[in-house]
Amino acid sequence: MVFTELRFLFFFLVVFVLHWTLSGATSRKVLLLISSYVFYSAWDWRFASLLLLSTVIDYWVARAIEREPADRRRKGWLTISLLANLGILGFFKYFNFFVQSGAGFLGWLGLPVDVPTLSIVLPLGISFYTFQTMSYTLDVYRRKLRAAGPLDFAVFVAFFPQLVAGPIVRASDFLPQLTTLRRWADVVVRPALTLFLIGYIKKACVADNIAPIVDTYFAAPATFTASAAVLAVMLYAVQIYCDFSGYSDMAIGTARLLGYDLCRNFDAPYLSASVTEFWRRWHISLSTWLRDYLYITLGGNRGPAWMTYRNLMLTMLLGGLWHGAAWTFVVWGALHGLALAAERALGIGVAAHGWRRLVRVPLTFWWVCVTWIFFRADGFPAAMITLKSFVLWDSPGTRSLPPFLYGVVAALAAVHVLTRLLHRDERPDATTRLPAWGYAVAYGAAFALATAALPLQYRPFIYFQF
């Protein structure tokens, strides 16, 4: 069950009405917990047991860490949590990848082996909720957070708006919201509904209509011209942004309608003037997670410069591997790591104004598009063909893409800039100034137009595979 399906609308309406009908905080949390497991089980009920297992393990480990005064034993409990979480994630997501990579390496050494692989189905959202539960036990271990009760912790892990594709919510941000009764009077309805609609349009109308064009190119990149390659890569940049940020918008809007606040996950990332700034605007919940729990743990920017560059590279390599079990994702992470290290060495930060920003924004976008090639391509041969076409404008292909798509990219870029300018100062939502009937008419018309623009074929969210 996903946000763009009709059955989610009926599911959420039932949860919404019951949630605000119930008067007790405990009864509402029980409802949210049951609803979240129903939501997750609609995909495959068997994998709900993994969600429950992670919840039980980290609940008991956190309680043990909090009770234990000895640092050595606290570290032992934390190790159990990390091994359990990473073990589950590693088996379901990386088992075949490491087995096949090991066999390939042995074959390269002249020691060919025949290794078995397993038909493993990747559980939906496992990377997201694994990082959430790990951050919880790490915060309890660092004494930044008190261990939560079983119901509160279970709701935190399984909360359905952000369960399968983020944002990656911190326990320190979400758990305090469960300790007080949510009040309908505190819910700002119109901005929440508007944000959900914006996310719906991004995903269903923009990303899903672009997807067939991108798929056509990447299915046979050698048959297309260089200009088609440039256009396809830019369209993929639009697709993945609208797909993922659209999901985040809908998740945040849905949570707000239930009285809960989730962290912002995107902030006009393609207007960044450096790769450093890009990672402060793209998938913010993941980039801050990697910073706080991996980069700083490795040493951050403490010590000599070479250690800082090492920490940046390791963080981005593991960040790339988090996205998928393929070497192309590792290369994607490595390219971002190299860019971050180069910017740090050259003293290029996030501050850029005037003509410098006008120059650096398109250069940053170009580099991000180069890295997207490895993120999207079906293997290294296809990636290298596309890379050659995109960077050197050299391709043997003759097929082209419709020229009007350049206009589509330009129009969407203008919307991206305009949206950033309108919301730069965190101004109040303009919809709050409309009369109720005016807002209802405008919302209904926008939703009708969005529905009319839906593609015939439904497409799952890209980040569901991670």
How does pLDDT run across 149-174, given as a tens digit for each residue?
999 999 999 999 988 777 999 999 99
**Distance separating alpha carbons of residues 387 and 367, to the nearest angstrom:** 11
Would residue 313 count as lying in a domain?
no
Q: How far is CA 204 from the centre of its chain?
A: 17
**Distance separating alpha carbons of residues 16 and 370, to the nearest angstrom:** 43
**Distance separating alpha carbons of residues 245 and 240, to the nearest angstrom:** 8
Residues 17 and 58 in one domain: yes
Counted domains in the chain: 2
Q: Is the pLDDT of residue 91 over 90?
A: no
**Distance separating alpha carbons of residues 359 and 38, to the nearest angstrom:** 49
On the CB side of 363, CA atoms within 13 Å amount to 14
Would residue 346 count as lying in a domain?
no
Q: Stretch 34-44: mean pLDDT, rounded?
A: 89
Mean pLDDT in the chain? 87
Closest by CA position to 254, among listed 162, 164, 173, 174: 162
Residues 177 and 194 in one domain: no
Residues 208 and 175 in one domain: no
Domain range enclosing 22: 6-97+118-181
Residues 220 and 157 in one domain: no
Q: Is the pLDDT of residue 390 over 70?
A: yes
CB 81 within 8 A of CB 134: yes
Residues 451 and 377 in one domain: yes
Residues 171 and 197 in one domain: no
Q: Stretch 96-111: mean pLDDT, rounded?
A: 67
Residues 169 and 211 in one domain: no
Residues 141 and 229 in one domain: no
Q: How far is CA 52 from the centre of its chain?
A: 22
pLDDT band at 356 (very low <50, low <70, confident <90, very high): confident
Q: Which two tokens stand for residue 43?
A: 């995909």
Residues 146 and 256 in one domain: no
Residues 195 and 169 in one domain: no
Residues noted as catalytic: 323
Residues 136 and 267 in one domain: no
pLDDT tens string 234-279: 999 999 999 999 999 999 999 999 999 999 999 999 999 999 999 9
- From 181, 214, 230, the end of a domain falls on 181
- Residue in the block written with tokens 């119109």: 190
Written as one letter, the residue type at 216 is T
* pLDDT number for residue 177: 93
Q: Is the pLDDT of residue 84 over 80?
A: yes
Would residue 52 count as lying in a domain?
yes
Does the pTM surpass 0.85? The reply is: yes
Q: Left if phi > 0, otherwise alpha if psi is -120 to 50, otherwise beta: which for 28?
A: alpha
Would residue 291 count as lying in a domain?
no
Q: Stretch 350-369: mean pLDDT, rounded?
A: 86
- From 137, 159, 181, the end of a domain falls on 181
CB 15 within 8 A of CB 35: yes
* pLDDT number for residue 72: 84
* pLDDT number for residue 426: 47
Would residue 278 count as lying in a domain?
no
Give whichever of 67-76, 304-313, 362-371 has the largest mean pLDDT.
362-371
CB 159 within 8 A of CB 251: no
Q: Stretch 324-345: mean pLDDT, rounded?
A: 91
**Distance separating alpha carbons of residues 458 and 204, to the nearest angstrom:** 8
Would residue 344 count as lying in a domain?
no
- Residue in the block written with tokens 């505190």: 186
pLDDT tens string 393-442: 988 888 999 989 988 888 888 888 887 776 654 444 666 777 887 888 88
* pLDDT number for residue 118: 63
Would residue 107 count as lying in a domain?
no
More confident residue, 44 or 10: 10
Question: Could you give the maximum distance between any two Cα atoms of the chain, in Å?
Answer: 75
Q: Left if phi > 0, otherwise alpha if psi is -120 to 50, otherwise beta: which for 166?
A: left
pLDDT band at 119 (very low <50, low <70, confident <90, very high): low
**Distance separating alpha carbons of residues 328 and 319, to the nearest angstrom:** 12
Would residue 32 count as lying in a domain?
yes
Q: Stretch 197-214: mean pLDDT, rounded?
A: 90
pLDDT tens string 265-276: 999 999 999 999
Residues 170 and 141 in one domain: yes
